[in-house]
Structure 1
Amino acid sequence: MPADDLRAPEHIARTRDRRDSRWDDHRRERREQLVQATVAAVSRHGAGVGMDEIAAEAGTSKTVVYRHFADRTELYVAVCNRVAAQLLPKLRDAIGSSDEPREMVAAAIDTYLGFLEADPELYRFVVHQQALDRPAGRDPISSLSDLVGEQAAAIVGPALERAGHDRRAAAPWGHGVVGMVRSAADWWLRAGHPMLRSELTAHLTDLAWAGLSAVGTPAPRATASRIKEDT
């Protein structure tokens, strides 16, 4: 058998792999286009946008959309992942923008509110799950809140330890602040922005810092112990 014939199966396999790879790239690109079209449709029609409107925004049909996404839930999760991938680096940058803890808290709060203010309908779409074909499970935005809460806890933890407090309090404190901001942001949106974003940021920072600033205060037990030793 000629040498070329011996190599033929391997050559065919490589050709098939390249063809499959091109199709994979095409599918990924098409999915990204559909996600972007969904974001645009949400901004145009609101958080309750329908699949017909999403398909029209993409210049295609629902059949094509469902060829790339099994159902509305899968598309919703893809949009949430897009938003989380954009918002999380901004929050990380905000937290790392200063060495002053209070300023870090204020910057993170303002960044979150900025996301809401820039596109309230997209915020409603990703934070408050619309009618889905099936439960989305653990949605990416909740995961994002968890990640931010963990970062806040990482900042608070060492300060708690230095002050003689139980470091385990860092986790509920960090996640509690994130939950407070998210709840207040929802109210601000429902109420039609009754105050400037800068004012809301200041109010929430004051409230959060009233509790978080206590990490620099020695724990009562430790203080009492030192007083007893002095006497």
Structure 2
Amino acid sequence: MRPASQDKIAHGGEGRESKPAGEPRDRRDSRWDAHRAQRRQELVDATLAAVGKHGAGVGMEEIAAEAGTSKTVVYRHFADRAELHVAVCNRVASQLLPKLREAIESNAQPRHMVAAAIETYLAFVEADPELYRFVVHPPQPDRPDPLTSLADLVGEQAAAAVSVALQQSGRDVAAAAPWGHGVVGLVRSAADWWLRAERPMLRSELAAHLTELAWSGLSTIGTHPQEEK
């Protein structure tokens, strides 16, 4: 039988007894929640720093050392590596998605919109290849969650933009999700190759090639259905 303290850690507990449902929370609970949220953000910061030092394959020991603590403490705040990975993805997404949104919304021409979004994504890849590798390759692929990986979050953003374009053209928006995620998959696969091949071409050249390929399929978005007949 495991000690009670280990059971609490394994289940994400903090060594405190939970209050019965419906019982009012006191100020100590609120302060603890704030402390726990702050500590989680600090551990995400430490993970980003550890990835910068040790690469995408960084271990939990190295993350804990960067945070100046132990793995046991890390697991008090994150149930496992997969949950920590989700938190890091959310942090990166909170920085990348506004840039993608700005790139899309700052261009009136659909082709320029696609080009700007692809360029923005590739700029993120080039700026920190190890962080990119860390966030797009989850530690437990058998536990998928539609909105926890960066690729899925970016795919949702792309799908939303495609949906608006389809609506404005009077077309069926059912294609928005597969097209949006498809373009992201295209760019991600090419970005993975680009890094593995040690960047055999300039980022701008890769972006131009991907824009040309993606636009070959997306160029019909601005066409009214009757014009295709």
Under a length normalisation based on structure 2, what TM-score does the superposition of the two structures give?
0.80
Which residue number in structure 2 is paired with residue 49 of structure 1? Answer: 58
**Which has the larger helix fraction?**
1
Which residue number in structure 2 is paired with residue 196 of structure 1? Answer: 202
Displacement after TM superposition at 1:223 (Å): 6.1
Contact 1:120 1:189 in 2 (8 A): yes
Amino acid aligned to 1:78: A
1:184-217 CA distance string (max 9 Å, x none): 1111111111111111111111111222223345
Contact 2:159 2:181 in 1 (8 A): yes
Displacement after TM superposition at 1:53 (Å): 0.3
Query: What is the distance in 2 between the residues matched to 1:37 and 1:76?
Result: 12
Query: What is the distance in 1 between the residues matched to 2:141 and 2:205?
Result: 39
Which residue number in structure 1 is paired with residue 48 of structure 2? Answer: 39
Q: 2:105 aligned to 96, 113, 119, which one?
A: 96
2:31 is aligned with 1:22: yes
Distance 1:133 1:198, change over 3 A: closer
Unaligned runs of 5+ in 2: 1-22
Secondary structure, counterpart of 2:201 in structure 1: coil
Query: What is the distance in 1 between the residues matched to 2:144 and 2:182?
Result: 24
Unaligned runs of 5+ in 1: 1-12, 225-231
2:209 is aligned with 1:213: no
Contact 2:114 2:211 in 1 (8 A): yes
Secondary structure, counterpart of 1:26 in structure 2: helix
2:76 is aligned with 1:70: no
Query: What is the distance in 2 between the residues matched to 1:111 and 1:39?
Result: 20
Amino acid aligned to 1:89: P
Q: 2:193 aligned to 174, 184, 187, which one?
A: 187
1:41-93 CA distance string (max 9 Å, x none): 01110111101100111111111111111111111111111111111111111
The CA RMSD over aligned residues, in Å, is: 2.5
Which residue number in structure 1 is paired with residue 150 of structure 2? Answer: 141
Displacement after TM superposition at 1:112 (Å): 0.6
Contact 1:160 1:216 in 2 (8 A): yes
Displacement after TM superposition at 1:166 (Å): 5.2
Identity among equivalent positions (%) equals: 66
Deviating above 6 A after TM superposition, structure 1's stretches of 4 or more consecutive aligned residues are: none
Displacement after TM superposition at 1:170 (Å): 4.0
> How many residues are paired up?
206
